[in-house]
Amino acid sequence: QEPLWFVSHWWGTPFFDTLRMMKLHADRRNVSMDDCYWMCTFANNQHNLAELAEPDIMMTPFAKAILCTSCIGTVALLDEGNASPFTRIWCILEDYITIHYGARKEKRQLMDFCTIIPKGECERSDGSTNPRCAGILLDNGDDTSKDGGSDLAKSDG
């Protein structure tokens, strides 16, 4: 099954946080249950990673998934407080392929970012601070982006 979205992530992010960010992304992008995300954790055979030894980086499973015709973009999942994916060479490669080569597709690739926002990091209009939540930045596809909000209920701010 070809993906609609590619997931760029760091393996050190707690799995619950990964799911929380992906749920927020799916909600904001109206991804249906029939659509597919490509995530190396599940897409690559972890017992046989021979494909990763491919000398042509564009022939790796990562590049193929990002550049397949069905894939409309990449969502980068950033761990709480550190943005560790930006220190990982595979994640940097995935983001580079999305931005550089994805711009050459018939319809430009989107690049969204989800993160876990630590408790108390954002001040609200009433002076209180946020509980721990997931937040998202959405690519508009025209070199601009918009704040996609968080996964907090309306009553939480």
42-81: pLDDT as tens digits = 877 677 777 777 788 888 888 999 999 999 999 999 988 8
pLDDT at 153: 60
Give 49's contacts (C-beta < 8 A, 6+ positions apart).
none
- Copy the structure tokens of residue 148: 């996609």
Decide if pLDDT at 121 tops 90.
no
Rounded-to-10 torsion of CA 28, 29, 32, 38: -110
| Distance, CA of 22 to CA of 19 (rounded, Å) | 5
CA gap 28, 151 in Å, rounded: 10
The Cα–Cα gap between 47 and 35 comes to: 26
Most confident of 24-28, 84-88, 133-137: 24-28
Give CA–CA dist 129/119, Å, rounded: 7
Could you report how far apart the first and last alpha carbons of the chain are, in Å?
A: 38
What is the share, in percent, of the chain residues with pLDDT greater than 90? Answer: 48
CA 101/CA 26 separation, integer angstroms: 24
CA 78, 79, 80, 81 torsion: positive or negative?
Answer: negative
Largest CA distance in the chain: 55
Instruction: Looking at 12-157, list the stretches that DSSP marks H as alpha helix, in order from N- to C-terminal side.
Output: 15-28, 40-43, 61-67, 89-96
Strand pairing class (5-8; 37-38)? parallel
Q: What is the mean pLDDT of the chain?
A: 88
Q: State the pTM of this model.
A: 0.86
